[in-house]
Amino acid sequence: MKVSNTCKNSCVNSVNGLSWDQLFYLNLEEKVHPFDDLDRFRPLDKAYDGNNTFWSIPSPEPDLSDLFWQNVDLSLGNDTIIQEAAQRLAASISQRYPDPEKILFVSILRAGVPITDWLCRLLPGSVGAAISLFVGLGIDTAALKRMRSDFPDRSIVFVDGWTGRGGVAKAIAALDMGPLAVLIDPWGWADFSGIQKDVFCPSACFTGLATLGFSRTFFIDKNNFFSAYRFSARFLQTKTIKTWQDSCPDHLLSPQKNRINKFFVETPLRIHSNEVCRALINAAPKTLFFADDKSFAKNNFGLLLQLADQRSIPSEFDVGHLKQLKTKVACELKTAQ
């Protein structure tokens, strides 16, 4: 994909030579070291308090081992549940948008990027672009305006990896600019989804450091695109990216049947396995809770247990009340006093 003239210096189609084949609408700032320049990042235990200055500093990046990434690669190559979910998701979208050349998939950074990659492969002719959105702050309106002018003849379909308690879905609905498509939607908040159970997607482990070449984005002001710090290419896990892309299925299945209606229960917990994974990466969990026994957790959520072990976070199993939350995994977060 080529960058249009209007995108110069404000959106990029490649960082460190990566091949996501999407336009990234953001300002790339100076290169920083993810582990030495810690003053550029906010503490893991700092919680959002409703003040938008919270989004002016990105969360830090985890220093994950080569062994961990090898295990991610193994998970990517053997995940038929995730592949089938993507096939059903693409089929659902194609029912409403039969001409892929009229679709613009808008990835919500960062979890939406791998899903859009697969959707563009499953629906040739569609294109992808990536943009920032934070619950509480909203979407990058400057970038959205530019993106809309760059693709005036395409229908927007917003893409995220999964839904949690519905915060992103509500923010997307308030825009009234297009539906939300996610791979995994346990509580039924998305317009399109591939599966409505709490199943783990290995791309939840993808960090900006390892798979994008830049940090979590951060807010400058309403007149500028959200920004991100660059990282050195030596931190990239290019094999992981290629393994994900090579794992994309090559045909569609029938759309998901018997979709559930929206569900919501108030809870202080971070719920659903993929949201818990993100918490293990850029927040401060106190304890992980699994609805099933330890054997089931090891077989289905092994990467979560590895991340928890790396950070010395304890886990509890057979936590029965999680079933009332329609989640297989949850965690309690630490917050700064």
Query: What's 100's domain CATH number?
Result: 3.40.50
pLDDT tens, 186-226?
999 999 999 999 999 999 999 999 999 999 999 999 899 99
7-21, 261-275, 297-311: the lowest-pLDDT one: 7-21
CA of residue 215 relative to chain centroid, distance: 13
Two structure tokens written together for 260: 């559930």
Q: Report the b/e string of 43-80 with b at 16+ CB within 10 A.
A: ebeeeeeeeeebbebbbbbbebeeebbebbbebbeebe
Same domain (yes/no): 64, 169: yes
Q: Write out the E strands in the chain.
A: 11-12, 23-25, 27-31, 103-108, 127-131, 133-134, 138-139, 155-162, 180-184, 192-195, 227-230, 270-271, 285-290, 315-316, 329-333
Give the predicted TM-score (pTM) of the model: 0.94
Q: Where are the alpha helices (DSSP H) in 123-246?
A: 141-150, 167-175, 208-211, 238-246
> In terms of domains, do 35 and 167 share one?
yes
158 and 221, same domain (yes or no): yes
Are 180 and 106 contained in the same domain?
yes
pLDDT for 1 equals 36
Show the domain range for 182: 5-246
In-domain check, residue 253: no
Task: Check whether 16 has a pLDDT greater than 90.
Answer: no
154 and 298 housed in the same domain: no
Q: Do 278 and 146 belong together in one domain?
A: no
pLDDT band at 53 (very low <50, low <70, confident <90, very high): confident
* Between 260 and 139, residue with greater pLDDT: 139
User: What percent of the chain stands above pLDDT 90?
Assistant: 86
Is residue 182, in this structure, part of any structural domain at all? yes
172 and 320: one domain? no
How many Å apart are CA 268 and CA 54, to the nearest integer? 20
Pair 316, 192 in one domain:
no
- Mean pLDDT over residues 145-156, rounded? 97
Looking at the structure, tell me whether residues 227 and 306 fall in a common domain: no
Mean pLDDT of all residues belonging to the chain = 93
On whether both 226 and 296 belong to a single domain, the answer is no
Please write the tens of the pLDDT for every residue from 223-272: 999 999 999 999 999 999 999 999 999 999 999 888 888 999 999 999 99
Instruction: Answer yes or no: do 52 and 194 share one domain.
Output: yes
One domain, residues 284 and 238? no
